[in-house]
Each structure stands twice: as structure tokens, then as C-alpha cells.
């Protein structure tokens, strides 16, 4: 901004260009960006007319960073909706299987029957599917780094998963993956 002012360029134009760039990176559509830009111009003009004490840069850029496509009642992407629905169904199935597994083991009292083994295998499969769905969505959404993605994927291969559980180490997926859901 200071360089623009020194070069004789209107600082507000530079600010609005930065504002537009942030909105573009957030995925807003052209019509939404034009609406937001005209609102920003009105706010800046109002601050100039009234001699308001707000910092114009903070006011405009703060609005840009708080704006998301959902603010415009836009229909969500069908692919994201399907992923979210799948994650919800898998999480519900996992909760159900965890409670069934607990009840079955209590009834067997140490004698692991074939029913308990089937429930355990099904739970492990659902856990793997849930992990793959969540980390895939988190990684594509940019909330998970490539290193974390690789680590989660390697921890939940069938072989590693069974090996970890045979050693008595289980991961509480709901707590560990809550930040990505």
C-alpha cells in the first residue's frame, strides 16, 4: 500500500484489487465478488465522508477473510454433499458397531466367538473407510497437509490396522479426526 501511494497510484484501488483477489481465492462467483466489491466501496466512501475512526484496510480485508461461498446461500457442490453424507453414515455405523462389539465381548466373557470376530472385522473395515473418506476430503479441502495425509493412509492399511489392534493399541477415530470433520 505504501509503495502504491509513493508511486502515485490510488491506494483504494490497490486495496480493492487485493480484496477481489482474496474473494477469488475463496471461490466466490463473479456476481458475488462484484456485489462484495460495491459494498466495500460504499463502506470506504462512508468512512471518508463521516471521518470514521475505523482502519479502512482492516475493515475491507477483514470482510474478505470472513466471507465464504456459503454466505450467499449457494447450493453446495454435489460431490462434497455426497462425501459428507458418506462420512456421516460411516460414523453412525462405527458407533453402532462399537456398541455391538462391547456388548458381544461382555456376553462372551473372554471367549471370542465367530459373531464377535465378524463384528470386529466389520468395525475395522468401517474404520478404514471412514479414515479414507475424512482424510481424502480434508486433504483436498486444504485442511490437512500431505505428510499427515500419508501418515493416516499408511496407519490404516489392512495389515497395519490388524497388527496394531492385535498388539492392543486402538485409535479413537472420533477424537483424532474431529478437527478434520
Report how far apart, in Å, the C-alpha atoms of 64 and of each of 8, 28, 41, 67, 147 are.
25, 11, 13, 5, 30
Whether pTM > 0.75 for this model: the answer is no
pLDDT digits (tens, 9 = 90+) for 125-174: 888 888 888 888 888 777 888 888 888 888 888 888 888 888 888 888 87
pLDDT tens-digit series, residues 101-119: 777 666 665 556 677 778 8
Q: How far apart are CA 80 and CA 141, in angstroms?
A: 10
Amino acid at each position: 500500500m505504501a509503495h502504491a501511494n509513493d508511486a502515485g497510484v490510488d491506494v483504494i484501488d490497490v486495496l480493492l484489487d487485493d480484496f477481489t483477489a482474496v474473494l477469488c481465492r475463496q471461490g466466490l462467483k463473479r456476481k458475488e465478488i462484484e456485489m462484495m466489491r460495491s459494498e466495500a466501496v460504499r463502506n470506504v466512501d462512508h468512512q471518508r465522508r463521516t471521518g470514521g475512526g475505523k482502519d479502512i484496510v482492516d475493515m475491507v480485508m477483514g470482510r474478505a477473510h470472513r466471507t465464504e461461498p456459503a454466505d450467499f446461500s449457494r447450493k453446495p457442490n454435489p460431490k462434497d454433499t455426497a462425501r459428507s453424507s458418506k462420512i456421516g453414515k460411516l460414523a453412525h455405523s462405527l458407533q453402532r458397531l462399537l456398541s455391538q462389539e462391547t456388548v458381544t465381548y461382555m456376553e462372551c466373557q473372554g471367549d471370542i466367538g465367530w459373531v464377535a470376530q465378524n463384528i470386529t472385522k466389520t468395525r475395522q473395515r468401517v474404520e478404514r473407510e471412514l479414515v479414507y473418506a475424512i482424510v481424502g476430503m480434508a486433504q483436498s479441502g486444504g485442511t490437512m497437509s500431505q505428510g499427515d495425509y500419508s501418515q493416516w493412509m499408511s496407519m490404516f492399511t489392512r495389515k497395519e490396522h490388524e497388527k496394531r489392534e492385535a498388539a492392543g493399541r486402538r485409535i479413537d477415530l472420533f477424537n483424532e479426526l474431529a478437527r478434520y470433520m
